[in-house]
Amino acid sequence: MISRLTISFYAILIVFFLFFLLEAFGSEITATPSLGLKVEYDDNIDFNRNNEIDDFSGSAIPGLQLNYLTELLEFNAYGEVDVKRYFDETDFNRTNQLYGFDSKYKMIERLNLLGEFEYRKDETIDSQLEETGRIFELDRRERYYADGGLRYQISELSEIGPNFSYEKTNFSSKEDDDYDLYRIALTYSKEFQNEIDTISLVPSYAKYESDTQDADGYRFEVAWKHLLGETITSDILVGARYTRIDSKDEANNDNNWGGIGKVDLTKKGETFIGNIGYYHDIRSSSQGEIIQVDRIFLNFDKRLFERYGFKFEGSGYYSRNESGDKDKIRYFVLTPSIYYMLTENHTLELFYSYQNQVEVDEPGNPNTQRNRVWLSLKLEFPKKWY
């Protein structure tokens, strides 16, 4: 099954290139090969509260990004392989992979075809922390995501169209729960004549299937994008959802209503870019659980001098299970860094990261901590053709 999906991805990619090769006249192509090199110290590799394992590691991260643009087609493809090797704890060696593309094709004057595909191979500890704010046992994960849709331009300022997406997630261990997620949505967007406001309405239905439980989700979202000034943009999303969860192992079915929310403020300047926001929604875990997640985040990049700069990324999570034992977890991660631009496309950066998870419902509120320090060299080699 996995090999067939992988072959399908490459086949789709090749067909895209061959089919749209006829559009090459007047096209703009940008290719950006890259190479990242990293040396890291981690004082708790598998984020374990009782048995902390520390070690040094080295990573090589080759990548490629390709952008193809004509009057009718926008096509962006990307790929990255992260090869990480530990000095002593070789059982934790891994090779993460990420490949994908997104595209937009103008079929006729008012109708656009949208397409997106992504394949990701990684590990559950970092990926599940980012998605749910929770620690799960170390495992290998493969995820396939495909999305396709149409957009019909009703007028110069409004458009409407359906989207269908499919996500398949497989885990190496039998103790973890593979799942499939299907979603169909209808999006209507309206840009106002003041050119600073855009409103979108999105009703949708999703079906979640795993070995331990199934879930049906109905939701309605309202999104508002607003330009607060020349350098500040706000994205606000609010909505409601109804979720029905059917457990296969025991008679523990659950129906519940919930809210959906997202606020994102972004500021861009000549020497500064940053965003702050809040997120509230449900996510899936490697254990087949539906997790309700609240997340706040702050990220910024400030150029201090011509070549020197400072970055910060921070997130805080509060999560609980949607059904069964509603255990509550708090988690936060703080990652400051300083960087030096060797050239416009070559950057040397020093990072520090601190992670902390607290099990709120457990006696004594036990917590797990992790410290990481790494030095990274990122080399990019962009090339453009017309």
Give domain limits for the chain: 2-385
91-113 tens-digit pLDDT: 999 999 999 999 999 988 899 99
pLDDT for 325 equals 60
Q: Please, are residues 269 and 314 in contact by the beta-carbon 8 Å criterion?
A: no
Close Cβ partners of 50 (under 8 Å, ≥ 6 residues apart): none
Asked if pLDDT for residue 362 goes beyond 90, the answer is no
Q: Please, are residues 282 and 251 in contact by the beta-carbon 8 Å criterion?
A: no
pLDDT for 22 equals 46
Among 18-22, 93-97, 111-115, 377-381, the minimum mean pLDDT is found in 18-22
pLDDT for 1 equals 42
Q: At residue 130, what are phi and psi to the nearest 5 degrees?
A: -65, -35
pLDDT for 383 equals 87
More confident residue, 266 or 10: 266
Asked if pLDDT for residue 65 goes beyond 80, the answer is yes
Mean pLDDT score of the chain: 88
pLDDT class for 251, splitting at 50, 70, 90? Answer: low
Q: Dihedral of CA 184/200/283/251: which sign?
A: negative
Mean pLDDT of 290-312: 94
pLDDT for 8 equals 52
Round to whole Å and give the CA distance between 4 and 8: 6
State if pTM tops 0.85.
yes
Fold adopted by 2-385? Porin (2.40.160)
189-228 tens-digit pLDDT: 999 888 789 999 999 999 998 888 888 999 999 999 999 8
Rg (CA), the chain: 22
Q: Dihedral of CA 24/26/32/33: which sign?
A: positive
Asked if pLDDT for residue 120 goes beyond 70, the answer is yes
Mean pLDDT of 306-321: 94
> What are the DSSP calls for 82-118, one per residue?
EEEEESS-GGG-EEEEEEEEEEEEEEETTEEEEEEEE
Round to whole Å and give the CA distance between 50 and 94: 23
pLDDT class for 250, splitting at 50, 70, 90? Answer: low
pLDDT for 20 equals 53
Round to whole Å and give the CA distance between 289 and 213: 8
Close Cβ partners of 47 (under 8 Å, ≥ 6 residues apart): 125, 129, 135, 355, 357, 368, 370
Report percent pLDDT > 90 for the chain.
Answer: 63
Asked if pLDDT for residue 13 goes beyond 60, the answer is no
Asked if pLDDT for residue 143 goes beyond 90, the answer is yes
Round to whole Å and give the CA distance between 333 and 133: 9
Mean pLDDT of 162-191: 92
